[in-house]
Amino acid sequence: MDRNKRFEGKIAVITGGASGLGKCSAMTLAAEGAVACIFDLDEVKGPEAVKEIEAAGGKAEFFKCNITEEAEVKAAYEGVVAKYGSVDLLHANAGIIDIPRYIHEMSFEQWYRVININLNGMWLAAKYAITQMLKQDGGVIVFTGSNWANVCDPGFTSYAASKAAVVNLGRNLALDYAKDNIRVNVVCPGNMMTPLLERQLSTEEDPEATLEAMGQISQPQEIANLVAFLLSDEASAMKGSAVTIDQGETLGYRPGLRVTKK
């Protein structure tokens, strides 16, 4: 297998592909030959990501789609299949985080917004990908979970619950569809330097101190490399795994894990 062309001829859908990890994943998959179909709400950053991929010699297309709206998700997949004929790879990744709130101070709408995008949106992305993959000779899916599927932070119930649910959504789908040649895994990143984290930090009283306390922050490319591996045939034995990739953050003492430059 040519390591630089692992996805030649493959059609990939990346939800949340206009920004952060999703954009990096789209660029990585396209660089190795896939057509990157970006499903995202953002009508400015989505087409910009496509231009960047094309400028780097890759193939991409933007499909405007709110991942929580079933009709829009279905239509976006229909658009991909009409133009490209298949859906071979899915990186189900679109997600949000809210500011921390204890549940007695949280409205049901605030809770539901996170659950709806982070869990229901993942379910919808997977449902229509799998429906198409069953008509082909299978496919591969990677969900973006979080290391907060396993650890908690004060005030983040909606995020932690949604990400824990994504892990078992992925594991159960791996079990359900292994016989159909559909492989499913989950990546569980720790803190990653993306617009999501930047927005989160800007709500803190002392962003610099918060950043320092977080320990080593990953770059999206470090996570996209794992996503690409899991989507590739090199990971043929990986089914239903939730892979933590978090600079050791879940080990405990975070600042102690930071690399100090000499």
Ligand X SMILES: NC(=O)c1ccc[n+]([C@@H]2O[C@H](COP(=O)([O-])OP(=O)(O)OC[C@H]3O[C@@H](n4cnc5c(N)ncnc54)[C@H](O)[C@@H]3O)[C@@H](O)[C@H]2O)c1
In the complex, which residues of this chain contact ligand X (CB under 6 A)? 16, 18-22, 40-42, 45, 65-68, 93-96, 117, 121, 144, 146, 189, 191-192, 194-197
User: Shortest gap between Cβ of 59 and ligand X (angstroms)?
Assistant: 20
Distance CA 249, CA 256 (A): 10
Contact 10, 89 (CB under 8 A): yes
Task: Give least dist CB 118 to ligand X, A.
Answer: 6
Rg (C-alpha) for the chain, rounded Å, is 18
CB of 41 to ligand X, least distance (A): 4
Terminal CA-CA length for the chain: 39
Residue carrying the six token digits 């996209």? 224
- Is residue 128 annotated as part of the catalytic site, yes or no? no
94/142 with CB nearer ligand X: 94
| 34 or 160: CB nearest ligand X | 160
What are the distances in angstroms from CA 186 to CA 41, 108, 129, 174, 212?
23, 27, 16, 10, 28
Strand partners, 35: 11, 59
Q: Closer to ligand X at the Cβ: 44 or 233?
A: 44
Instruction: Give the residue carrying structure tokens 């991942």.
Output: 67
Instruction: Catalytic residue, from 102, 159, 177, 253: name it.
Output: 159
Nearest approach, Cβ of residue 179 and ligand X (Å)? 28
> Which CB, 196 or 257, lies closer to ligand X?
196
Q: Which helix (H) or strand (E) holds 189?
A: strand 182-189
Catalytic residue numbers read 159
